[in-house]
């Protein structure tokens, strides 16, 4: 949602006439209407109804389908082979690739109408949900010369069917459906955009017959207008506490069990100094139960509007990043670097966040599956004490390149090039579907 909202906010200033196609009744953890106030009045937002289920019901269905067991620990990331019951099989067959596919018939009709009535030059389809990408093939058949861009906010296949997955269904049928659906979408598209270089290479590698210049990188970023950058304090808190804040949803890719194990193993005199604050939705009861094992060391504050969550960073000594995946970078990472707080990260050693942490000098990291490494991360943080102010030297010049206004300008240049400058006035008419204006 944040990426879509920032594009809607900043693309019009780059000579793009923007129409946003989204839902009237989105199903989501929470909504933050403050983003709508930042959208320029010339942006036209078109809303349709969707049959997508309310978030609570959808979560219940997911639990019935996937079960309450931990993610598979198979070395190859394959799903367990236990045969699902009849209810699970029916739901898996109906809701492919995800429950939001119920919007596709309405989305298709609305998109066709908008392309004709608004003389659209280019359609930007952003996901997840990945069912949105099914629109690409339909648009290509209806409008053979239309420019179509797929914006992958998350890599699809490797992420959804790996060991740490947020996919609604991970059955073999779902996997085969997703492989075919992504291939149809990519071959139908004019261009494909990923948010990390590792994801771009992963997607590009699946389609060797497609031209290399079809695959692009435009990373996520932070909105400087929503952040108040603050350097680490040069003095410790009077009570000696070290506040570590985590912002965002806790789900399979960010599950905290290894983190909890590492913190519990800290020496008592170190352990007593830390307070952990988790701000955001917790996807599974087992993740909440794991965090609550930290007792009075942890505060679970639930979902709050983004401005309130970002303001909480200023109260922290460190911000916490947990990411087990090797392809996608958490959106919170960019808010962290934009806010200027040092990051303590438990991440995949080959993932984009580890590379960015080192390149931007934005904090310290350990392998997300290495209990001893994470334990040492916190021991070092406690030992750093008052020297944090002098030890933390982020590369602010390079970090500034991840500001959303800067990235929107870069994205606009790409869209102009794809649409071949469009109209004589030098502007493009662009439809974004969906716009994510929840």
119: left (phi over 0), alpha (psi -120 to 50) or beta: left
Question: Does the predicted TM-score (pTM) go above 0.85?
Answer: no
pLDDT score, position 192: 98
Cα 268 to Cα 76, 242, 258, 273, 371: the distances in Å are: 37, 14, 18, 9, 17
Average pLDDT, the chain: 85
Please tell me the predicted confidence (pLDDT) of residue 52.
Answer: 61
Tell me the average pLDDT across 154-179. 76
Classify residue 72 as exposed, middle or buried by CB count within 10 Å of its CB (0-12, 13-18, 19+): middle
More confident residue, 69 or 222: 222
The pLDDT value given to residue 379: 98
d(CA 414, CA 403): 17
**Distance between CA 436 and CA 428 in Å, rounded?**
20
85-94, 266-275, 426-435 — most confident range? 266-275
Q: What is the mean pLDDT of residues 78-99?
A: 62
| Residue bearing the bigger pLDDT, 220 or 88 | 220
The whole-angstrom separation of Cα 265 and Cα 242 is 17
Cβ(366)–Cβ(198) under 8 Å? no
* Helix or strand run (H / E) with residue 347: strand 343-347
Measured distance CA(290)–CA(129) in Å, rounded:
28
Handedness of CA 254, 260, 262, 263 (dihedral sign): positive
Confidence of residue 286 (pLDDT cuts 50, 70, 90): very high
Q: Contact 335/247 with Cβ under 8 angstroms? A: yes
pLDDT confidence bin for 165, thresholds 50/70/90: very low
Q: What is the pLDDT of residue 73?
A: 42
Higher pLDDT, 357 or 161: 357
Give the pLDDT confidence of 178-225 residue by residue, as tens digits. 999 999 999 999 999 999 999 999 999 999 999 999 999 999 999 988
Q: What percent of the chain has pLDDT over 70?
A: 79
- Rg of the chain in Å (alpha carbons): 22
Which H or E run includes 184? helix 172-188
Q: Give me the count of residues in the chain.
A: 438
Instruction: For residues 7-36, give the mean pLDDT.
Output: 81
**pLDDT of 263 strictly over 70:** yes
Q: Encoding tokens for residue 410?
A: 């870069």
> Hunting for tokens 């392309």 — which residue is that?
115
Q: What angle do CA 123, 185, 125 make, to 5 degrees?
A: 30
β-strands 147-152, 191-194: how paired? parallel
What is the per-residue pLDDT for 236?
65
pLDDT above 80: residue 88: no
pLDDT confidence tier of residue 164, bands split at 50, 70 and 90: very low
Distance CA 165, CA 158 (A): 9
Domains of the chain, each with CATH number or no CATH: 2-221+403-432 (3.40.50.2000), 225-398 (3.40.50.2000)
Across the range 395-419, mean pLDDT stands at 96
Res. 125: pLDDT tops 70: yes
For 343-401, write each residue's pLDDT tens digit: 999 999 999 999 999 999 999 999 999 999 999 999 999 999 888 988 999 999 999 99
């Amino acid at each position: 949602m944040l990426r879509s909202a920032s594009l809607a906010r900043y693309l019009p200033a780059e000579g793009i006439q923007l129409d946003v196609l989204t839902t009237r009744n989105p199903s989501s953890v929470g909504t933050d209407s403050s983003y709508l106030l930042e959208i320029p009045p010339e942006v036209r937002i078109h809303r349709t109804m969707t049959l997508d289920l309310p978030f609570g019901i959808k979560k219940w269905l997911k639990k019935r389908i996937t079960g309450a067991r931990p993610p598979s620990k198979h070395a190859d990331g394959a799903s367990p082979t236990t045969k699902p019951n009849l209810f699970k099989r029916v739901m898996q067959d109906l809701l492919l690739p995800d429950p939001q596919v119920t919007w596709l018939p309405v989305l298709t009709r609305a998109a066709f109408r908008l392309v004709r009535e608004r003389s659209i030059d280019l359609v930007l389809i952003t996901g997840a949900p990945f069912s949105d990408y099914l629109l690409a093939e339909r648009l290509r058949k209806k409008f053979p010369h239309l420019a179509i861009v797929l914006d992958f906010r998350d890599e699809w296949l490797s992420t959804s069917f790996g060991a740490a997955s947020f996919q609604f269904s991970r059955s073999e049928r779902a996997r085969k459906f997703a492989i075919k659906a992504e291939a149809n979408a990519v071959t139908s598209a004019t261009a494909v955009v990923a948010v990390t270089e590792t994801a771009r290479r992963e997607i590009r590698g699946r389609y060797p017959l497609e031209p290399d210049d079809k695959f692009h990188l435009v990373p996520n970023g932070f909105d400087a207008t929503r952040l108040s950058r603050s350097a680490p304090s040069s003095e410790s808190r009077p009570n000696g506490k070290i506040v570590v804040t985590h912002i965002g949803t806790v789900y399979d890719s960010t599950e905290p069990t290894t983190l909890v194990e590492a913190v519990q193993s800290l020496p008592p005199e170190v352990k007593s100094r830390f307070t952990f604050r988790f701000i955001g939705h917790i996807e599974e009861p087992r993740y909440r139960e794991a965090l609550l094992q930290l007792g009075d060391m942890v505060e679970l504050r639930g979902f709050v509007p983004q401005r309130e969550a970002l303001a909480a960073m200023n109260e922290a000594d460190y911000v916490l990043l947990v990411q087990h995946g090797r392809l996608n970078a958490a959106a919170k990472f960019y808010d962290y670097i934009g806010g200027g707080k040092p990051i303590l990260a438990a991440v995949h050693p080959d993932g984009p966040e580890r590379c960015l942490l080192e390149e931007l000098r934005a904090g310290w990291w350990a392998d997300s599956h290495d209990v001893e490494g994470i334990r040492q991360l916190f021991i070092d943080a406690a030992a750093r004490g008052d020297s944090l102010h002098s030890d933390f030297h982020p590369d602010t010049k390079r970090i500034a390149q991840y500001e959303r206004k800067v990235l929107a300008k870069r994205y606009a240049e790409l869209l102009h090039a794809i649409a071949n400058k469009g109209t004589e006035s030098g502007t493009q008419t662009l439809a974004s579907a969906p716009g994510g204006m929840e």
